[in-house]
Structure 1
């Protein structure tokens, strides 16, 4: 189940919004602590301001074995220093929320080497939260985390991390720590475990997980998976123990990172809950110049449901490209399948077992009746008679009330003697929609069928001209699979012929004066005949996805029209001037568009809350804005 680097058209762009678990209190520090010079109080990124904890894109930096560069027998710590300086310089731009070192900081773990490591890592003091764990070259390799005092513990023990905002505590022995990261609008747990975890260490890690049951977890350690000759990876002996005793049992752990072995490799295993766990080796000490301070970026993108991984040497990047030697040019950035790849991960689905998303609750109609609201329809019990049974047919003659109080009620009409199931009630809805309900339309052509909800011919909306501007909003969802020919099906419209309004310059005098439709390529088409000219400014979107809810807003400021999809302005908005909507005193309808004053096919898919406002609203005023 190894993930492969490949491109992907991502179907969902939804931020994870999950309830956050409370972080566990910091464990008591052992008697043996880091040197005073190692203490730090974290600050924002110097010269660039703080990272953005709410952005759906953030970076976890991973620094593998640096032992050959911090070796008292002869080494060069400058590549390590430059990597740390690079991370500080780029912290805000790359939204780097944390740095995890994977162990083997030094070659021999001596007092002298640890003093050097202390000086080098002091670069991060107060500037970037981080963890450093012990590898087999940092401590006596014959024991586990119960080994007691070492130069490593005095340098990278709990006291070093105590001032960081991410730090939540260490194990009693001091060799394990855990951090809580604020990123992507939620919290994440990072475990930094010793290279040999005792039974006591496993019990401590389990306690941390138990106290933070809703936090997705990244486990870092030095020895977990080892590479094979094909660039993949398999559990080492110690890794098998961690997998069986800790990782596979805890669904929270979705990603593990380790060094120790080379070359780099990765694999995916399935835990006891049936979910994938991604296990990666990151180590470049076998490469030119002891790895040249190579660092790996894990760029989380919660909107695209991906983790983009890249590996490069900031030290080599800082040099003059024209003067790079052959080995430097080959090492500056790595592009092999184990070094640069994308992990595709549906975060909401993967975390649903322990941290299910908490969508906003339904909002009452009064909360979205902004100034200038002309009409507002929703299909829950507040707005639709008989709503409440998923899949139940909505009978002809059923009324959807205009909750604005302006009298623009809608009445269900079945087209072309369509069967009762052509319109059904549904509990499906956009997660940001005020009402947790929608209508499922079963329209189609050959033969024409469908259903529409229409105002009466005397409703105020039939005569409204909107010359000072307007906003028309709705939520739609297209079925997956999207079967059949539904080209230019109508979503909403005003009835009547544009030709009867004296409009002759458009595509056809038989089309209505205003309609929102979907082309055969699933492009939105908003066409309007303004009141001040004989023209039909038309806006077109990109191809809409299937199987997911989409919010659509058409905004006119009295001069021009701009269409938004999911809060984003589309490219193909009409340049022509456009003031108001020409109306003929004919009904407004949801679920279809007339041609030559007759309905053909009806809409195919779901429609949710729909609102019309006699003003140009900003995106932060749309129905999706949860206040």
Structure 2
């Protein structure tokens, strides 16, 4: 049992991947066993991405004529039974040398201990080590006391047992874990040529199953834990392992000290070779167990080694040697192995890429804007100035490219990159910078229907985004992914910094997601904060408002820092949203964008694959999204943000009321013929008119007029 319980309490599941885009305190016996008594008998979860393979090495000194003690192995098996559900233990493999003298009495005594697993129907395998049989012969040696106890008949009632060689000394097992099947071989101390042929036939009969090979003698290790093949191990490697890509992990005992190495097979793929044996340590190894925690979501195997027998003792009564042996935390015995399982198994079990899905499958009731970038142009080609990205919702909210002065056509390029599970297989690559502002963005037209929506019942915004590897080393803090044009002061807000945009989905200087908005019922900014995003990976972000509260999700997972104060939709006086990247870095790629109306019956995107970017006028909880949007025609900048929320962006837009809209005395925007944008903010005691330069976004003038009625 490790003294770092968190190693075995990692997430049992994970939402969508954003791809494509030390020891603590030793647990007490009560914590180790008692807390899990109610879990005894519960079955492991065959679909959970995290599962455990338990490995038991040489136990021979515990069964050595009249000199042994089976108590340590009993404690180990009892631990596995009680931890079965918690650790999701799907299989247990013994690596041979069960007993010391191959005596029938020793084997019978050991067999009784294994009944602890039998009674709980916990599947396992046992193989013969050199101390269990006549080690001068191969597996054609004939009958033996070992076969009487640990022959194929012992495993026939197990659901994992699939077969054995005619001699009975070799078995194979198939267990289900992580939503797939796994093949495990338990081979004799000296498998014959016929047995190796049998292994090849089994592999051929199950050509898509990853395989683990367990045997007694395959590799030894030096004092630093560096493993190397033994003479017999070299024979197995040359005649079997290296020729079969399915075998990705080998486990053996026999030698000590423990160690590991990585070898390259004929397919050019890694094979992890591990040796584990503790018979040379205190009390014949104290019943040491090694747990291999597979985590398919993290593409990692976490390995730990400990003695449940010692762990179960009262810490105050452990002797000095027991205190040292309760857990082995050196790098040889506690480590993690990184394996990209999908990539490693692709040669024999390829996962076909998911094809693009038609628009009709992605549109749900309430979708008010849906943009996807798979038809923008050939991979790597510039998106032409004025090019249009169609709103596939059928509502006419099309986007048009706008280029900042001084920027070339490569500021926005089409890209074939996309999340592996993205409905549209394409994206746009935005190459921008600031100081001076360079780049390009997409905006809605002046008369887009989206501009007039107010989203009284809520909204959902969704997008796929990928940050470049060097994003933190360059000056692109507080870049905006999506911005609703107009400032807080345009909506009559005086709290925080009224010059901030009405709504913006941005990335901080540390690349943490931020949704900042002026709600209708608040005078200041309400902000949702996410964590810092990893560069070089696609991720899915969803912002969901139910008309009162706003929640942010990343890859379908609800984030922590969501405001609890009820807030309504963004200030309705300025009903425009500019949808574009600002300023987007080289290699910054934006996937699809969608807006949709609220759908309270839908859960977050974690329930299924991520969707493209979209916006909604109600809550889609990460399924669809929609945002009011009317991009104007003049400025190329959002209102500068002076607080820590964002440095001055490189884009902006001017918003003029629709001819059908009534004039609003709280906030208005006028559009002069000169290259400037005027904003008018009416307060109870004064009216402020500000002028902003079109190209720079800087304020160039301000006039404040006191209202006569205020003085009265």
Structure-2-length-normalised TM-score: 0.77
> Deviations 1:206-228 (Å, cap 9, x if unpaired)?
22222222222211110011122
Shift of 1:242: 0.7
User: Which of the residues 471, 496, 519 maps onto 2:486?
Assistant: 496
Shift of 1:621: 7.3
> May I ask how many residue pairs the two structures share in their alignment?
577
Shift of 1:551: 0.6
User: Which of the residues 43, 50, 70 maps onto 1:50?
Assistant: 43
Counterpart position of 1:380: 374
Shift of 1:60: 0.7
Distance (Å, rounded) in 2 between the aligned partners of 1:249 and 1:330:
42
Counterpart position of 1:369: 363
User: Which of the residues 156, 170, 187 maps onto 1:176?
Assistant: 170
User: Structure 1 residues 604 and 512, CA, compared in 2 at 3 Å: closer, same or farther?
Assistant: farther
User: Which of the residues 340, 346, 351 maps onto 1:352?
Assistant: 346
Question: Over aligned residue pairs, what C-alpha RMSD do you find?
Answer: 2.4
Distance (Å, rounded) in 2 between the aligned partners of 1:416 and 1:602:
17
Distance (Å, rounded) in 2 between the aligned partners of 1:473 and 1:77:
59
1:41-80 aligned within 5 A: 47=40, 49-80=42-73
1:503-518 aligned within 5 A: 503-509=493-499, 511-518=500-507
User: Which of the residues 597, 607, 631 maps onto 1:614?
Assistant: 597
Counterpart position of 1:93: 86
Does residue 624 (structure 1) correspond to residue 617 (structure 2)? The answer is no
Shift of 1:461: 1.8
Shift of 1:433: 1.7
Counterpart position of 1:425: 414
Does residue 114 (structure 1) correspond to residue 99 (structure 2)? The answer is no
User: Structure 1 residues 46 and 14, CA, compared in 2 at 3 Å: closer, same or farther?
Assistant: closer
Asked if structure 1 preserves the Cα contact closer than 8 Å seen for 2:515 and 2:528, the reply is yes
Asked if structure 2 preserves the Cα contact closer than 8 Å seen for 1:537 and 1:575, the reply is no
Shift of 1:355: 2.6
Does residue 528 (structure 1) correspond to residue 511 (structure 2)? The answer is no
Q: Secondary structure at the match of 1:413?
A: strand
Asked if structure 1 preserves the Cα contact closer than 8 Å seen for 2:555 and 2:606, the reply is no
Distance (Å, rounded) in 2 between the aligned partners of 1:435 and 1:255:
37
User: Which of the residues 112, 123, 129 maps onto 2:116?
Assistant: 123
User: Structure 1 residues 623 and 162, CA, compared in 2 at 3 Å: closer, same or farther?
Assistant: closer
1:79-478 aligned within 5 A: 79-125=72-118, 126-381=120-375, 384=376, 387=377, 389-478=378-467
1:466-615 aligned within 5 A: 466-482=455-471, 484-509=474-499, 511-584=500-573, 587-593=576-582, 605-615=588-598
Distance (Å, rounded) in 1 between the aligned partners of 2:485 and 2:374:
26
Q: Secondary structure at the match of 1:208?
A: helix
Distance (Å, rounded) in 1 between the aligned partners of 2:525 and 2:608:
27
Shift of 1:603: 8.3
- Worse overlay, 549-558 or 208-217: 208-217
Instruction: Please list every run of 5 or more consecutive structure 1 residues that lacks an aligned counterpart in the other structure.
Output: 1-6, 8-12, 17-44, 594-599
Asked if structure 1 preserves the Cα contact closer than 8 Å seen for 2:463 and 2:541, the reply is yes
Distance (Å, rounded) in 2 between the aligned partners of 1:143 and 1:421:
72
Distance (Å, rounded) in 2 between the aligned partners of 1:173 and 1:572:
63
User: Structure 1 residues 602 and 113, CA, compared in 2 at 3 Å: closer, same or farther?
Assistant: closer
> Deviations 1:597-616 (Å, cap 9, x if unpaired)?
xxx66786111122222215
Asked if structure 1 preserves the Cα contact closer than 8 Å seen for 2:461 and 2:543, the reply is yes
> Deviations 1:212-262 (Å, cap 9, x if unpaired)?
222222111100111223322211110011111111222222211100111
Shift of 1:374: 1.8
> Deviations 1:572-616 (Å, cap 9, x if unpaired)?
2234321112245565333235xxxxxx66786111122222215
Asked if structure 2 preserves the Cα contact closer than 8 Å seen for 1:265 and 1:282, the reply is yes
Distance (Å, rounded) in 2 between the aligned partners of 1:292 and 1:440:
59
Distance (Å, rounded) in 2 between the aligned partners of 1:571 and 1:14:
16
Distance (Å, rounded) in 2 between the aligned partners of 1:544 and 1:48:
41
Instruction: Please list every run of 5 or more consecutive structure 2 residues that lacks an aligned counterpart in the other structure.
Output: 1-6, 8-13, 18-37, 612-622, 624-712
Distance (Å, rounded) in 1 between the aligned partners of 2:454 and 2:402:
25
- Worse overlay, 500-509 or 135-144: 500-509
Asked if structure 1 preserves the Cα contact closer than 8 Å seen for 2:512 and 2:529, the reply is yes
User: Structure 1 residues 262 and 151, CA, compared in 2 at 3 Å: closer, same or farther?
Assistant: same
User: Structure 1 residues 604 and 135, CA, compared in 2 at 3 Å: closer, same or farther?
Assistant: closer
**Which is greater in Rg?**
2
> Deviations 1:488-535 (Å, cap 9, x if unpaired)?
1111122223321212213242x3211111122111111111123322
Q: Secondary structure at the match of 2:243?
A: coil
Q: Secondary structure at the match of 1:562?
A: strand
